[in-house]
Amino acid sequence: MKINRLLTTSTTLIGLIIITIFILVAVLSPLITPYDSYKINLEERLQAPNLRHFCGTDNLGRDIFSRILSGAKISLAVGIIATFLSLFIGFVIGTLGGYIGGKTDKLIIALIDIMLAFPGLLLAIGIAVAIGPGLITLYIALSFVGWAEFARLIRGVVLSVKEQPYIESAKVAGAGNLRIVIKHILPNIFPVIIVVATLRVGSFILSEASLSFLGLGAQPPTPSWGSIVSTGSNFILTAPWFSILPGMAIAIVVIGFNLLGDGLRDIFDPKLIR
């Protein structure tokens, strides 16, 4: 029934279609790029969009359309992997706090509050500067910044679920804590995790673009949407397509994840289901 609602809700379906298209582009980019995204051709530098180059060329004569297609793989990978790592850390810490309680929970709450007290992007920039630019840096910085929100949400859900009668029945039956968490608690918080994770992918893609724009992400000549926008900002008056088109790609994919996340939230929220 929930799958049918997912496919019949227009905004959710639009978000799903957008994400599917971008994932296919990222996977098939080595096969579908019309030009080598790394090949320099100074004779064709800063060409406006035309029949040969749909999105024009950059300051080194490289086809921007090809670089956008290649950059999809990097930007989506960073968003998805950073979300997965943040979710894993947040799940472990949030479940420990919510299920064990006591001093452990108080310590975890204090740690979460400290993390959330810092602006996320500024903290990610500080970590990236300390470690040094690169893709691995993006994974570490974004995961370190993002886990606290997951932990706070999961802790709250676990606190609610662990008071249910079937949890007490499982304890009486002799089930261990790990079995209770995996078999009884995880299935009940899984819908919430899916919704929040979907929304977070879009925000992580924006964060990746911001860090790459500042030169702290993927390093040249590796194409990522943020680095393309960063380079194009130097030519915004003479070659506006250089920054605008990859910026539109970022906006579209983030909108897609937000539409899908909002739709999933409406579907899984029991208050909205009659």
Please give the pLDDT value at position 274: 40
- Quick one: tokens of 71? 């950059």
Residue 34 carries which DSSP code?
S
CB 90 within 8 A of CB 98: no
Please give the pLDDT value at position 30: 86
CA dihedral over 85, 90, 95, 100, signed as positive or negative: positive
> ∠ CA 203-208-212 to the nearest 5 degrees?
150
Domain locations in the chain?
61-272
Please give the pLDDT value at position 272: 42
Please give the pLDDT value at position 173: 75
Q: Helices 241-268 and 64-100 sit at what angle, rounded to 10 degrees?
A: 30
- Fold classification of 61-272 is MetI-like fold (1.10.3720)
- Total-model pTM: 0.85
Distance separating alpha carbons of residues 39 and 153, to the nearest angstrom: 46
Residue type, 3: I
| 3-state secondary structure at position 63 | strand
- Quick one: tokens of 134? 């690169």
Residues of the chain scoring pLDDT < 70 = 1-9, 268-274
Please give the pLDDT value at position 222: 83
Residue with tokens 């793989």: 73
